[in-house]
């Protein structure tokens, strides 16, 4: 029996960020306001920045949390300016990755795709921020950032698929009312688990009478089956294979490879759908000669050995591939971005030892953000910003989801039906999905599979726009992809705000 990978969506290894929990005794919200600027396309934009907490209330108007956020609004702009609510994933990650990587007025410069040296780190003007076209609110879900339960609420009330969707929706609704933004064009932007959250929030808010103009999904996942490797389920192996192949393409492990990546991906899609998937579907009925033929093609497309695929019974999980892909060079490749490599200390290991991309950039993002948060935005230094909820005592995620009750199962949690429901009820709603070709955390072919199986009408399907980047999970660390990100997201916001 092959070892399966434990379900783990954290954008970065939770062990990196061990922090103590802030006190839940703090009952009053606190916000600090500063003036900031960003220069985009030669124009300086004056911003009002607000960082701190908002006292969140439940449906009975009872306080339940201090909800942490950072907002940037254009000075003297009117209320019809678009507004974007953005968050990272995890579950249990704060929003500092998107904040300092691509959305905010400042950006952490990293040595992509190599390791960034230790401090001093470079905090630069973000020429590619979306703040020229929209205001921005960075959200920190409860248990992250400065966000903590208050009153009779506990962390358990917020740590779960539906609990999280509810609290995020409550905050967005109350923020819009409090700041007179109900008539603004509204957008959600989530990364990783944040896209899984987005699919539920867009439907939940629509139920409350709040329609989004657009929803932006960065490195998406909606069907959890596409990320884990449960026994006797071929789907995750099928949807991961195209990213194994693109990773080998990037590292020049493929003989006589096509020079155009998009054309190569089309070739891999065809092989996966017409040969690999049918072979796995046969299971033990697959003839040995056919098995060897498929194994040879799998090996050629990934720069590995045929025998490796035969020993694996044609099924290689992602952690096994991290270790095998560049084993002969003594390297492991990145989960979040396969362009990154790290030292493989155990050349006999079956699984990857660590994620080189996380190791390469996490110190820069962590130190750079905390310095900016306290010294530029002016948040009190005795308020501990929790980068991840994963190290809080008792952190545990409730994976059950009411949106799956139609199928009378909680075995494969999936928020794609929520997204399909919202899209079908609002024909003006558009979704933009950004995919990294080298992202082995949330694989692009898994997203394609999910979208193709949502049961949408052809007209509704046209409301989903897919874009691809020659980078990984955080595609914006790659400068050409950062530029494309700004173009794609900026154009989407402008078009959906008309």
Distances in whole angstroms, Cα of residue 384 to Cα of each of 86, 364, 374, 402, 478: 21, 18, 10, 34, 30
For 14-224+362-496, CATH number out of 3.40.50.1100, 3.30.70.100, 3.40.50.1820, 3.40.50.720 equals: 3.40.50.1820
> Would you say 423 and 458 are in contact if contact means Cβ atoms under 8 Å apart?
no
> Would you say 64 and 153 are in contact if contact means Cβ atoms under 8 Å apart?
yes
Whether the pLDDT of residue 184 is over 60: the answer is yes
pLDDT in tens, 49-74: 999 999 999 999 999 999 999 999 99
Q: Give pLDDT, residue 411.
A: 62
Residues facing residue 135 across a β-bridge: 83
**Helix, coil or strand: residue 125:** strand
Average pLDDT of the chain to the nearest whole number: 93
Distance CA 87, CA 430 (A): 19
Every domain of the chain and the residues it spans: 14-224+362-496, 226-356
> Would you say 181 and 92 are in contact if contact means Cβ atoms under 8 Å apart?
no
Whether the pLDDT of residue 5 is over 60: the answer is no
> Would you say 29 and 54 are in contact if contact means Cβ atoms under 8 Å apart?
yes
Average pLDDT over residues 372-376: 98
Q: What percentage of the chain exceeds 90 in pLDDT?
A: 90
Number of helical H runs and strand E runs in the chain: 14, 14
What phi, psi does 206 have (nearest 5°)? Answer: -65, -35
> Would you say 334 and 340 are in contact if contact means Cβ atoms under 8 Å apart?
yes
Whether the pLDDT of residue 17 is over 90: the answer is no
Q: Give pLDDT, residue 404.
A: 72
Confidence of residue 2 (pLDDT cuts 50, 70, 90): very low
> Would you say 310 and 291 are in contact if contact means Cβ atoms under 8 Å apart?
yes
> Would you say 429 and 397 are in contact if contact means Cβ atoms under 8 Å apart?
no
Q: Give pLDDT, residue 66.
A: 98
pLDDT in tens, 253-294: 998 899 999 999 999 999 999 999 999 999 999 999 999 999
The answer, yes or no, to whether the previous bond of 41 is cis (omega within 30 of 0) is no
Distance CA 466, CA 260 (A): 19
Q: Give pLDDT, residue 297.
A: 98
**Which pair of tokens denotes residue 184?**
């603004």
**Which pair of tokens denotes residue 451?**
């979208």
Give the chain's largest Cα–Cα span: 71
Whether the pLDDT of residue 390 is over 70: the answer is yes
Confidence of residue 16 (pLDDT cuts 50, 70, 90): very low
Whether the pLDDT of residue 6 is over 60: the answer is no
The least confident of 12-21, 276-285, 341-350, 351-360 is 12-21
Distance CA 439, CA 191 (A): 12
Residue 457: how many CB atoms within 10 A of its CB?
Answer: 10
> Would you say 335 and 10 are in contact if contact means Cβ atoms under 8 Å apart?
no
**Which pair of tokens denotes residue 345?**
């200390």
Whether the pLDDT of residue 439 is over 50: the answer is yes
The candidate with the shortest Cα–Cα distance to 468, out of 492, 451, 446, 484, is: 484
Average pLDDT over residues 162-184: 98
The candidate with the shortest Cα–Cα distance to 84, out of 4, 176, 209, is: 176
Whether the pLDDT of residue 7 is over 70: the answer is no
E strand or H helix that includes residue 247: helix 235-250
Confidence of residue 23 (pLDDT cuts 50, 70, 90): very low
Confidence of residue 27 (pLDDT cuts 50, 70, 90): confident
Confidence of residue 11 (pLDDT cuts 50, 70, 90): very low
Distance CA 418, CA 178 (A): 27
Q: Angle, nearest 10°, between helix axes 416-425 and 193-207?
A: 40
Distance CA 196, CA 217 (A): 9
> Would you say 473 and 336 are in contact if contact means Cβ atoms under 8 Å apart?
yes
pLDDT in tens, 71-123: 999 998 898 999 999 999 999 999 999 999 999 999 999 999 999 999 999 99
Distance CA 42, CA 60 (A): 48
**Which pair of tokens denotes residue 381?**
């230094």
Q: Give pLDDT, residue 9.
A: 41
Burial 195-219 (b: 16+ CB within 10 A, else e): bbbbbbbbbbbbeeebebbbbbbbb
Q: Give pLDDT, residue 405.
A: 62
**Which pair of tokens denotes residue 62?**
């009872």
Q: Give pLDDT, residue 410.
A: 55
The least confident of 137-141, 144-148, 230-234, 314-318 is 230-234
pLDDT in tens, 307-329: 999 999 999 999 999 999 999 99
Average pLDDT over residues 125-129: 98
DSSP state of 93: B
Burial 133-148 (b: 16+ CB within 10 A, else e): bbbbbbbbbbbbbbbb
DSSP letters along 165-180, please? HHHHHHHHHHHHHHTT
């Amino acid at each position: 029996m092959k070892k399966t990978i434990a379900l783990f969506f954290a954008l970065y290894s939770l062990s990196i960020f061990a922090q103590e929990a802030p006190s839940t005794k703090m009952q009053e919200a606190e916000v600090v306001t500063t003036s900031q600027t960003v220069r985009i396309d030669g124009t300086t934009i004056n911003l009002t920045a607000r960082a701190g907490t908002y006292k969140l209330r439940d449906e009975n108007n009872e306080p339940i949390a201090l909800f942490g956020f950072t907002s940037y609004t254009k000075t003297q702009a009117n209320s019809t300016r678009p507004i974007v609510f953005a968050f990272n994933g995890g579950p249990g990650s704060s929003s500092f990755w998107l904040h300092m990587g691509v959305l905010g007025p400042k950006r952490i410069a990293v040595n992509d795709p190599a390791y960034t040296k230790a401090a001093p780190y470079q905090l630069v003007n973000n020429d590619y921020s979306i703040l020229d076209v929209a205001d921005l609110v960075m959200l920190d879900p409860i248990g992250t950032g400065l966000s903590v339960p208050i009153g009779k609420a506990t962390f358990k009330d917020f740590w779960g698929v539906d609990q999280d969707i509810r609290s995020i929706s409550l905050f967005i609704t109350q923020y819009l009312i409090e700041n007179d933004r109900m008539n603004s064009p509204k957008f959600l932007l989530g990364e990783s688990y944040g896209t899984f959250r987005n699919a539920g929030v867009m439907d939940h808010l629509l139920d409350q009478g709040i329609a989004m103009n657009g929803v932006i999904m960065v490195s998406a996942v909606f069907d959890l089956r596409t990320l884990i490797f449960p026994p006797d389920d071929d789907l995750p192996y099928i949807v991961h294979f195209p990213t194994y192949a693109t990773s080998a393409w990037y590292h020049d492990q493929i003989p006589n490879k096509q020079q155009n990546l998009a054309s190569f991906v089309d070739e891999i899609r065809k092989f996966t759908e017409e040969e690999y998937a049918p072979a796995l579907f046969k299971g033990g009925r697959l003839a040995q000669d056919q098995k060897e033929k498929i194994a040879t093609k799998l090996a050629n497309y990934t720069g590995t050995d045929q025998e490796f695929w035969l020993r694996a019974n044609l099924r290689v999980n992602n952690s096994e591939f991290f270790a095998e892909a560049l084993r002969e060079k003594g390297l492991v490749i990145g989960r979040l971005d396969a362009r990154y490599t790290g030292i493989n200390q155990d050349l006999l290991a079956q699984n990857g030892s660590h994620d080189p991309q996380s190791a390469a950039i996490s110190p820069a993002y962590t130190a750079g953000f905390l310095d900016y948060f306290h010294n530029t935005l002016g948040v009190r230094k005795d308020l501990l910003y929790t980068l991840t909820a994963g190290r809080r005592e008792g952190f545990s995620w409730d994976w059950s989801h009411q949106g799956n009750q139609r199928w009378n199962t909680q075995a494969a949690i999936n928020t794609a039906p929520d997204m399909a429901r919202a899209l079908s009820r609002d024909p003006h709603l558009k979704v933009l999905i950004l995919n990294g070709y080298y992202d082995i955390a949330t694989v692009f072919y898994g997203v394609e599979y999910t979208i193709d199986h949502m049961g949408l009408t052809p007209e509704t399907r046209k409301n989903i726009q897919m874009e691809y980047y020659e980078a990984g999970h955080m595609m914006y660390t790659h400068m050409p992809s950062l530029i494309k990100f700004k173009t794609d997201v900026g154009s989407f916001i402008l078009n959906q705000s008309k």
